Amino acid sequence: MKVRKFMEEMLSNPLYEILPIIQDRITKRNTWFGVKTQKHPYDFWIYQEILWCLRPDYVIEIGNYMGGSTLALAHICDLLGKGKIIGIDINQKNIPSQVREHPRITLMEGDACDLFEKVKNIVGDSFCIVIEDSSHTYDNTLKILRLYSQIVKPGGYIIIEDSICWHGLSLGPFPGPYEAIEVFLQENKDFEIDRDLEFPITWNPKGYLLRIR
């Protein structure tokens, strides 16, 4: 039988041994109002801070799995009294009714890059935040950055999730999101990394990209 270790027993362990344990908890057990969500609580706390400060008209979540984080974002917008969520994924068959029926949520099934023009037409000139949490491959992440950065206005963010792949956790694609961020920032000087938003442990290192002009 595997013996489960708790944090008070691991305070002297190096961080690289603890991160996979956190990842296991995130991927297997995290929920929001009973809906499964693979989101690190530290990073979601930052999303709450961003939404409170910026009050965006739309949050575009690319890659929403079973919809737990989509619902959580909608609940924050409920509290703010403002904002709509566009949830995009190639397969949304497992998203439950409580997510589908939330009045602030619009679900779009398909490839985010193929759907870009449709999303662009929906948001128009609105103030948007974009969260990219799909396949995490280098090519797809970079393509999404190049496309969806176009609808982020100065002062807004495009957030790239799971740049921790091979930069803290030995999993996921390589090259992956981290490398795509670096290439995008070399190409596009309208964005900069806002590292002040990161907790010391984040699943999105260098992933909070602020549009500065």
Is residue 171 one of the residues assigned to a domain? Answer: yes
Report yes or no on 36 lying in a domain.
yes
Peptide bond into 175 cis (omega under 30): yes
Q: If DSSP codes are grouped into helix, strand and coil, which group holds residue 195?
A: helix
pTM: 0.94
Domain enclosing residue 49, as ranges: 7-211
Question: Quick check: is 2 in a domain?
Answer: no
- Three-class secondary structure of residue 60 per DSSP: strand
> Could you tell me what percent of the chain has a pLDDT over 70?
97
> 99-111: string of b/e by CB count within 10 Å (b at 16+)?
beebebbbbbeeb
Q: Is residue 1 part of a domain?
A: no
CATH number at residue 50: 3.40.50.150
Residue 113 belongs to some domain of the structure:
yes
Residues 6+ apart with CB under 8 A from 25: none
pLDDT at position 1: 37
* Residue in the block written with tokens 């500065």: 212
Say how far apart CA 85 and CA 128 lie, in whole Å: 10
Which pLDDT score, from 0 to 100, does residue 10 have?
A: 78
Instruction: Look at the chain and report how many structural domains it folds into.
Output: 1
